Amino acid sequence: MVSFVLVALWLVSTLLIKAWPVAWAVIGAGVPLLGWVTYVEGPMLGLAALLIGVTALRVPMRGLMRP
């Protein structure tokens, strides 16, 4: 249960990304969080968290690539 709350907070932080240094910090925080979720909840929910994280980071990054 705690892992889902932390993943939700991490997802909210991805919505606040405005610059690349912040994006790298969010990615850096997400990697150990993903490992912990996989360890605590199992590989299937870990894979689901990975897919959600990739999707959440991909959408805001498209806006940063535009001139």
The pLDDT-based confidence of 55 (bands split at 50, 70, 90) is: confident
Is it the case that residue 61 has pLDDT exceeding 60?
A: no
CB 6 within 8 A of CB 49: no
pLDDT score recorded for residue 67 = 57
Q: At which residue do the structure tokens 């932390």 appear?
A: 6
Show contacts of 13-18: CB within 8 Å, 24+ apart.
Answer: 14/53, 14/56, 14/57, 14/60, 15/56, 15/60, 17/57, 17/60, 17/61, 17/64
In this prediction, residues 51-60 reach a mean pLDDT of 79
- Whole-number Å distance between alpha carbons of 36 and 38: 5
In this prediction, residues 2-10 reach a mean pLDDT of 90
